[in-house]
Chains A and B, each alone.
Chain A
Amino acid sequence: MTSARTLRKIPIYAVLIVLCILWLLPVLSTLVVALKSPQDFVSQKFYQLPVHISLTQNLNKVLTEYRLNAHFVNSLLYAVAGGAVTIITASMAGYSIVRLRPKFNFLLFLIIYSGTLFPFQMYLVPVYRLYNVLGLYDTRTGMILIYSAICIPFSLFVYRGFYTTIPREIEEAARLDGCGPVRSFVSVFLPQSLPPTAVVALFQMTWIWNDLLFGMVLSRTQHVRPIMVALATMTGYGGGNIPWIMTGVIFTSIPTVVLFILLRRFFIQGMTLSIAA
């Protein structure tokens, strides 16, 4: 019985292993190519290992010629500042919608939440025009503002969902002890907010880091353009540039990969929430 069952599983294993090889192939190719010098890359076959490791030269090229480090700093700023603005605004808004119950709170929530429904293309033309009029075009402030605005709806949803699970009794107790809404938010709700904050930080900072569209439309110069736009403009030249481009891919992917490894256990929670959304 057991042997028959094991036998039946062999095709499943075979298919899965083939798929895994297909899935790993691009990752491994990227790593190998990033280690090669352009000369090696052009003269060697794709599966051959490099004769001499030239990762440092490639990295140097990527940093000095393509100035990816400057864009790296830009995107880091956007991710951290945008993430911070989002977390502060969305947590306060989530609290007030759930607990203070302003008039039309559900309508208010729906209006804000509709922000996640529309494709981003819907905002491009008007925001581009608005930014030109206000002088926010090609400024770091402008980028942080638009990223926060895009991130707030989903984050608000996360916080709102989480705050509805906090028992009302706890807040009642705080109120009897003399806490106003602000105090009760700061000392009752905030200390418990680690899980939603981790979810928001993971998902939204990754999104900001990976964004291409808004970066391309709303910025022009090197000290404003986010990193994915810089990476995208590196592509399109084939041949000997490929080792540098692949080094760029690795360089730009480090932060999100690290963030995923660090906040791994919050990832499933975030998926659950986005399904609920």
Chain B
Amino acid sequence: MVVLLIVPMLQNIYYSFFDWNGLSKPVFIGVHNFVALFGDSVLAGSMLNTAIWVAFTLVFPVMGGLLVAVFVTGLRGENFFKSIFFIPLTISFVATGTIWTYMFSRELGVFNGIFRLLGLPIKLSWLTSVPLNTFSMLISWTWQQLGTNMVMFLMGLATIPSDPVEACLIDGANGWQTFIHVKFPMLAPITTVVITMAMVNGFKVFDIIYVMTRGGPYQSSETLAVSMFRETFTLFHMGYGAAIAVLLSVIVIAISSAYIRRMTRRDLLYY
């Protein structure tokens, strides 16, 4: 385990200082790879895409998951609705990407088919036009991720004691006020976890993009994870790929450590 994970991690940082194509002897070039990172226009695009992915992940899968969890609780047919949103969790990202590639297909896809059925003269190139392709993939991402967040929020809601909620209702608050002033603050620990995990997952997203567009056309829908893969294993810029990996890790670790610090501070407050 240590050999396979810890050592490679350090080695990766080491390689990121080299110009290396995987075959010849690595040449030490100092921080040149990192300097190049910031001058690379493709990489700037992929950073922008990564930011879009993370922001979108927070808005749709996370907030959508919260809304569905809140509204579905106590409703008749609760279990039916929950199991529908649960379905995508059982299949892989690759399968999700494959299914949605068909849904978005220009000539034979379902969405353009629905437009035709409704008599709308719209025929979108969902996956080949920029910037629509990123948003198309984000739709499929939402489809796959909403269930996870819903389940976690449902668990959080189930742990809220009923007394304060009832007290609030007796005092004459409506459902919305109860939610904002009582339920949402009590959900805070779960919300922190969900947001952190969603952001980290947004930064790391790879499978769906690889399957649906391969990052294309012309690298327009790449995120950092996809750029790293392309630089490393298609172009064999091993050192440069390693540098992208370091950049990605720094961002992810920064987010998770902010979260961990918050959690430990809360523990200190409570105990």
Contacts and interface: CB of A to CB of B under 8 A. Distances in A.
A127 B8 contact: yes
Nearest to B7: A126
A121 to B, nearest CB: 4
B256 A117 contact: yes
B245 A125 contact: yes
Interface stretch (B35-43, B101-109, B177-185): B101-109
Contact of B151 (A126, A128, A231, A271): A271
B129 to A, nearest CB: 16
Contacts of A257: 90-91
Contact of A231 (B98, B204, B242): B98
Interface in B16-56: 22
Interface string B188-215: 0010010000000001101100111010
A20 B107 contact: no
Interface stretch (B68-76, B130-138, B163-171): B68-76
Q: Please report whether the interface of chain A is mostly helix, strand, loop or mixed according to DSSP.
A: helix
A19 B73 CA distance: 16
B102 A122 contact: no
A19 B8 CA distance: 44
A22 B9 CA distance: 41
A26 B103 contact: yes
Interface in A112-136: 112, 114-115, 117-130
B87 interface: yes
15 contacts: A19-B68, A19-B85, A23-B85, A26-B99, A30-B99, A112-B2, A123-B12, A148-B1, A210-B93, A238-B108, A242-B105, A246-B99, A249-B95, A257-B91, A271-B155
A24 interface: yes
B84 A20 contact: yes
A260 B90 contact: yes
A115 B92 contact: no
Interface stretch (A39-47, A54-62, A163-171, A181-189): A39-47
Nearest to B92: A210
Nearest to B70: A12
A119 B249 contact: yes
B5 A115 contact: yes
A199 interface: no
Nearest to A45: B113
Nearest to B80: A20
B190 A275 contact: yes
B100 interface: yes
A13 B8 CA distance: 51
Given A242-B108, A268-B155, A126 B244 contact: no
Contacts of A146: 4
A228 interface: yes
Contacts of B11: 125-126, 129
A256 B155 contact: no
A245 B151 contact: no
Given A26-B103, A46-B113, A149-B4, A209 B245 contact: no
A2 interface: no
B102 A120 contact: no
Interface string B132-171: 0000000000010000000110010000000000000000
A212 B75 CA distance: 38
Interface in A136-195: 145-146, 148-150, 152-153
Given A19-B85, A246-B102, 9 more contacts: A46-B113, A118-B9, A119-B248, A125-B241, A150-B5, A216-B233, A235-B101, A242-B105, A245-B98
